[in-house]
Amino acid sequence: MSVVTEKRLKDRSGSKCEISGSDENLVVYLVEPKTDDIPENCILITKTLKDQIENPETTNANDWRSLSDSMWNENLPVQIVSWRMHARLKNNDMLEMMYLDEDALEWAKATGEADDDEGKIVHKDSNGNILKDGDSVVLVKDLDVKGATFTAKRGAAVHNIKLVWDDANLIEGRVESQTIFILTQYVKKTK
Protein backbone atom coordinates (compact mmCIF):
# COMPACT_ATOMS: atom_id res chain seq x y z
CA MET A 1 0.00 0.00 0.00
CA SER A 2 1.20 3.49 -0.74
CA VAL A 3 2.32 5.72 2.09
CA VAL A 4 0.19 8.56 0.67
CA THR A 5 -2.95 6.40 0.80
CA GLU A 6 -2.23 5.37 4.38
CA LYS A 7 -1.70 9.00 5.43
CA ARG A 8 -4.93 10.12 3.73
CA LEU A 9 -6.85 7.29 5.40
CA LYS A 10 -5.43 8.23 8.80
CA ASP A 11 -6.43 11.85 8.19
CA ARG A 12 -9.92 10.75 7.07
CA SER A 13 -10.47 8.48 10.08
CA GLY A 14 -8.60 10.37 12.78
CA SER A 15 -6.13 7.44 12.94
CA LYS A 16 -8.85 5.05 14.09
CA CYS A 17 -10.29 1.86 12.63
CA GLU A 18 -13.17 2.90 10.39
CA ILE A 19 -15.21 -0.09 11.58
CA SER A 20 -14.47 -0.48 15.31
CA GLY A 21 -13.02 2.89 16.28
CA SER A 22 -9.91 1.24 17.77
CA ASP A 23 -6.55 2.97 17.38
CA GLU A 24 -4.37 -0.15 17.74
CA ASN A 25 -2.79 -2.38 15.07
CA LEU A 26 -4.16 -0.39 12.12
CA VAL A 27 -3.62 -1.55 8.53
CA VAL A 28 -4.89 -0.48 5.13
CA TYR A 29 -7.42 -2.83 3.55
CA LEU A 30 -8.10 -2.64 -0.19
CA VAL A 31 -11.78 -3.49 -0.71
CA GLU A 32 -12.05 -6.16 -3.43
CA PRO A 33 -12.42 -6.41 -6.35
CA LYS A 34 -10.88 -2.94 -6.64
CA THR A 35 -7.17 -3.00 -7.49
CA ASP A 36 -6.03 0.63 -7.17
CA ASP A 37 -4.85 1.36 -3.63
CA ILE A 38 -6.37 4.83 -3.49
CA PRO A 39 -8.37 6.05 -0.47
CA GLU A 40 -11.62 5.76 -2.46
CA ASN A 41 -11.06 1.96 -2.58
CA CYS A 42 -9.57 1.39 0.89
CA ILE A 43 -10.36 1.56 4.57
CA LEU A 44 -8.23 1.82 7.69
CA ILE A 45 -8.98 -1.22 9.84
CA THR A 46 -7.48 -3.24 12.68
CA LYS A 47 -5.37 -6.21 11.63
CA THR A 48 -7.71 -8.52 13.59
CA LEU A 49 -10.76 -7.42 11.58
CA LYS A 50 -8.83 -7.53 8.29
CA ASP A 51 -7.76 -11.11 9.04
CA GLN A 52 -11.39 -12.06 9.73
CA ILE A 53 -12.52 -10.51 6.43
CA GLU A 54 -9.90 -12.53 4.56
CA ASN A 55 -10.50 -15.76 6.54
CA PRO A 56 -14.28 -16.11 7.01
CA GLU A 57 -13.92 -19.22 9.17
CA THR A 58 -12.26 -17.06 11.87
CA THR A 59 -15.09 -14.49 12.02
CA ASN A 60 -16.00 -13.55 15.59
CA ALA A 61 -19.37 -11.74 15.61
CA ASN A 62 -18.44 -10.03 18.88
CA ASP A 63 -15.59 -8.16 17.13
CA TRP A 64 -18.10 -6.61 14.69
CA ARG A 65 -20.46 -4.95 17.22
CA SER A 66 -19.69 -1.52 15.72
CA LEU A 67 -21.16 -2.38 12.31
CA SER A 68 -24.42 -0.66 13.21
CA ASP A 69 -22.44 2.60 13.42
CA SER A 70 -19.93 2.08 10.60
CA MET A 71 -22.68 1.26 8.09
CA TRP A 72 -23.64 4.96 8.20
CA ASN A 73 -20.08 6.16 7.52
CA GLU A 74 -19.93 8.73 4.70
CA ASN A 75 -17.09 6.87 2.94
CA LEU A 76 -18.26 4.27 0.45
CA PRO A 77 -15.56 1.61 1.08
CA VAL A 78 -16.52 1.59 4.78
CA GLN A 79 -20.17 1.13 3.79
CA ILE A 80 -19.20 -1.72 1.43
CA VAL A 81 -17.29 -3.60 4.15
CA SER A 82 -20.12 -2.99 6.63
CA TRP A 83 -22.66 -4.36 4.14
CA ARG A 84 -20.52 -7.46 3.46
CA MET A 85 -20.04 -8.22 7.14
CA HIS A 86 -23.74 -7.72 7.90
CA ALA A 87 -24.40 -10.21 5.07
CA ARG A 88 -21.82 -12.69 6.43
CA LEU A 89 -23.24 -12.41 9.94
CA LYS A 90 -26.80 -12.78 8.57
CA ASN A 91 -27.87 -9.42 10.02
CA ASN A 92 -30.67 -9.15 7.46
CA ASP A 93 -32.57 -6.42 9.34
CA MET A 94 -29.46 -4.20 9.15
CA LEU A 95 -28.97 -4.98 5.45
CA GLU A 96 -32.53 -3.87 4.77
CA MET A 97 -31.85 -0.55 6.51
CA MET A 98 -28.77 0.21 4.38
CA TYR A 99 -29.10 2.04 1.09
CA LEU A 100 -26.47 1.57 -1.58
CA ASP A 101 -26.95 2.79 -5.14
CA GLU A 102 -26.80 0.22 -7.93
CA ASP A 103 -23.03 0.52 -8.56
CA ALA A 104 -22.20 0.40 -4.86
CA LEU A 105 -24.45 -2.63 -4.33
CA GLU A 106 -22.73 -4.40 -7.23
CA TRP A 107 -19.36 -3.66 -5.57
CA ALA A 108 -20.67 -4.93 -2.23
CA LYS A 109 -21.96 -8.16 -3.76
CA ALA A 110 -18.83 -8.76 -5.87
CA THR A 111 -17.27 -11.17 -3.36
CA GLY A 112 -20.48 -13.20 -3.01
CA GLU A 113 -20.76 -12.45 0.70
CA ALA A 114 -24.57 -12.33 0.56
CA ASP A 115 -24.91 -15.43 -1.62
CA ASP A 116 -25.76 -18.81 -0.26
CA ASP A 117 -22.65 -20.92 0.07
CA GLU A 118 -23.82 -22.94 -2.94
CA GLY A 119 -23.60 -19.91 -5.26
CA LYS A 120 -20.44 -18.42 -3.81
CA ILE A 121 -17.35 -18.31 -6.01
CA VAL A 122 -14.51 -20.10 -4.24
CA HIS A 123 -11.10 -20.56 -5.84
CA LYS A 124 -9.40 -23.87 -5.02
CA ASP A 125 -6.02 -25.23 -6.04
CA SER A 126 -5.35 -28.70 -7.46
CA ASN A 127 -5.49 -30.17 -3.94
CA GLY A 128 -8.73 -28.45 -2.95
CA ASN A 129 -7.09 -25.76 -0.79
CA ILE A 130 -8.91 -22.42 -0.85
CA LEU A 131 -6.95 -19.66 -2.58
CA LYS A 132 -7.03 -15.97 -1.61
CA ASP A 133 -5.66 -12.80 -3.16
CA GLY A 134 -1.98 -12.43 -2.28
CA ASP A 135 -1.32 -16.17 -1.89
CA SER A 136 1.71 -17.85 -3.41
CA VAL A 137 1.36 -20.93 -5.60
CA VAL A 138 3.56 -23.24 -7.65
CA LEU A 139 2.69 -24.69 -11.03
CA VAL A 140 2.04 -28.44 -11.02
CA LYS A 141 2.37 -28.79 -14.80
CA ASP A 142 4.25 -27.16 -17.69
CA LEU A 143 1.90 -24.63 -19.27
CA ASP A 144 2.07 -23.19 -22.77
CA VAL A 145 1.37 -19.48 -22.44
CA LYS A 146 -0.84 -18.20 -25.24
CA GLY A 147 0.52 -15.08 -26.92
CA ALA A 148 3.93 -15.46 -25.28
CA THR A 149 7.21 -17.00 -26.36
CA PHE A 150 7.77 -19.15 -23.30
CA THR A 151 6.40 -22.12 -21.43
CA ALA A 152 5.64 -21.70 -17.74
CA LYS A 153 7.55 -24.59 -16.18
CA ARG A 154 6.29 -26.99 -13.56
CA GLY A 155 7.50 -25.90 -10.11
CA ALA A 156 7.61 -22.21 -11.04
CA ALA A 157 6.54 -20.03 -8.12
CA VAL A 158 3.82 -17.43 -8.65
CA HIS A 159 3.66 -14.91 -5.81
CA ASN A 160 0.92 -12.46 -4.85
CA ILE A 161 -1.80 -13.96 -7.04
CA LYS A 162 -5.05 -12.17 -7.79
CA LEU A 163 -8.32 -14.07 -7.98
CA VAL A 164 -10.52 -13.55 -11.02
CA TRP A 165 -13.55 -12.63 -8.94
CA ASP A 166 -16.20 -13.86 -11.40
CA ASP A 167 -14.52 -17.17 -12.37
CA ALA A 168 -13.57 -19.74 -9.72
CA ASN A 169 -11.25 -21.53 -12.18
CA LEU A 170 -8.92 -18.61 -12.94
CA ILE A 171 -6.24 -16.68 -11.11
CA GLU A 172 -3.88 -13.99 -12.33
CA GLY A 173 -0.16 -13.95 -11.60
CA ARG A 174 3.27 -13.05 -12.91
CA VAL A 175 5.50 -15.64 -14.51
CA GLU A 176 8.81 -14.59 -16.10
CA SER A 177 7.86 -10.91 -15.68
CA GLN A 178 4.59 -11.35 -17.57
CA THR A 179 1.10 -11.24 -16.09
CA ILE A 180 -0.87 -14.31 -17.18
CA PHE A 181 -4.13 -16.05 -16.34
CA ILE A 182 -3.72 -19.54 -14.89
CA LEU A 183 -6.29 -22.27 -14.36
CA THR A 184 -6.53 -23.14 -10.66
CA GLN A 185 -6.34 -26.87 -11.45
CA TYR A 186 -2.69 -26.35 -12.45
CA VAL A 187 -1.47 -24.70 -9.24
CA LYS A 188 -0.71 -25.79 -5.69
CA LYS A 189 -0.88 -23.33 -2.79
CA THR A 190 2.33 -22.90 -0.81
CA LYS A 191 2.38 -22.09 2.88
> For residue 16, which of 44, 51, 50 has the smallest C-alpha distance?
44
> pLDDT by residue for the chain (191 residues), tens digit each?
689 999 999 999 999 999 999 999 999 999 999 989 899 999 999 999 999 999 888 899 899 999 989 999 999 999 999 999 999 988 888 888 899 999 999 999 987 776 555 456 788 999 888 898 889 999 999 998 887 788 999 999 999 999 887 788 999 999 988 889 999 999 999 97
pTM beyond 0.75: no
Give phi and psi for 185, each to the nearest 5.
-70, -10
